[in-house]
A = this chain, B = another copy of it.
Amino acid sequence: MERPGTWQAIRAEALRRMRAGDWPPGERIPDEAELAAEFGCARATVNRALRDLAEAGLLERKRKGGTRVPLTPVRKATFEIAIIRRDVEGRGQRHGYRLIEDALRPPPEAVRTALGWEGGAMRHVTALHLADDRPFVLEDRWLNPALVPADRVRFETVSANEWLVRNIPYSSGDIGFLARPADASAARWLGCDAGAALLAIERTTRSEAGPITFVRLSYAPGHRMEAML
């Protein structure tokens, strides 16, 4: 347990009151000044605790309106998105990598719209990541050839996944999860039947210099992503 008077202790007590029904859903709770007086601490400490709960979706706070327990809380689940090699190694397995294709191709319409790509051909890189020699995830990536030219950046030994994180870090983008049936190519590389249900992550990455990449990571059947609540 935390020592009393710390913001963690106040957060825990607030949570307890919500669970116990002292602060029922929909109700407004005492304001920061009152709670600070009750707990015998500074208002900033109460603010820290309640702000933390609000960020997790467990409280709703509005200036002047006060703080209330939401009727239907919108909880937040967070995934840790590491590079694939670290993901595999974090499971205590050996990471393997195999480049399948690296060629210039006209991107499909879905990729064009997702990235807002106006130009012609993009660099299409396909690769397989292995965990203890078994297929783990299929990486299907479209790269802006102006930002990642094929004659200067090679992906034979280092995956595009890893290269991008190291060299074009901290860019913005979207991320989405979906399920898709394995097509012939995915089935072949992942060693499953065509049509098998695959968990996939699609991500677009942009910088100020323009679109960087669209990638779809298709995990081998049975893969499960754990999130923290």
**The 6 nearest A-B residue pairs measured at CB:** A179-B179, A197-B197, A179-B199, A179-B197, A78-B78, A178-B224
Chain B residues within an 8 Å CB radius of A77: 78-79, 81, 175
Interface residues in A, total, Cβ within 8 A? 53
Residue contact B15 to A170, C-beta cutoff 8 Å: yes
- A86–B73 CA distance with the chains assembled, in angstroms: 10
**Nearest chain B CB to A79's CB is how many angstroms away?**
5
A96 within 8 A of B: no
Chain B residues within an 8 Å CB radius of A195: 181, 195, 197
Q: Which residue of chain B is the closest to A58 with respect to CB atoms?
A: B170
What are 18 contact pairs spanning A and B, CB under 8 A?
A15-B170, A18-B169, A19-B169, A19-B207, A71-B166, A72-B83, A72-B162, A73-B170, A74-B80, A74-B82, A76-B80, A176-B224, A177-B224, A177-B225, A178-B199, A179-B200, A181-B197, A195-B197
- A154–B112 CA distance with the chains assembled, in angstroms: 49
Q: Which residue of the partner chain, among B165, B173, B196, B225, contacts A73 with CB atoms under 8 Å? A: B165
Extra contacts besides A76-B78, A78-B78 (13): CB < 8 Å: A15-B170, A19-B207, A25-B169, A72-B162, A72-B166, A73-B169, A74-B86, A174-B226, A175-B226, A178-B199, A179-B198, A179-B221, A180-B197
A93 within 8 A of B: no
**Nearest chain B CB to A146's CB is how many angstroms away?**
18
Q: Which residue of the partner chain, among B76, B202, B226, contacts A81 with CB atoms under 8 Å? A: B76
Q: Which residue of chain B is the closest to A76 with respect to CB atoms?
A: B78
A135 within 8 A of B: no
A227 within 8 A of B: yes
- A172–B228 CA distance with the chains assembled, in angstroms: 10
**Nearest chain B CB to A125's CB is how many angstroms away?**
19
Known: A72-B82, A81-B74, A81-B77. A227 touches B172 (CB 8 A): no
- A78–B55 CA distance with the chains assembled, in angstroms: 11
Residue contact A225 to B176, C-beta cutoff 8 Å: yes
Interface 0/1 of A153-193, CB less than 8 Å to B: 00000000010011001111111111111000000000000
- A72–B207 CA distance with the chains assembled, in angstroms: 18
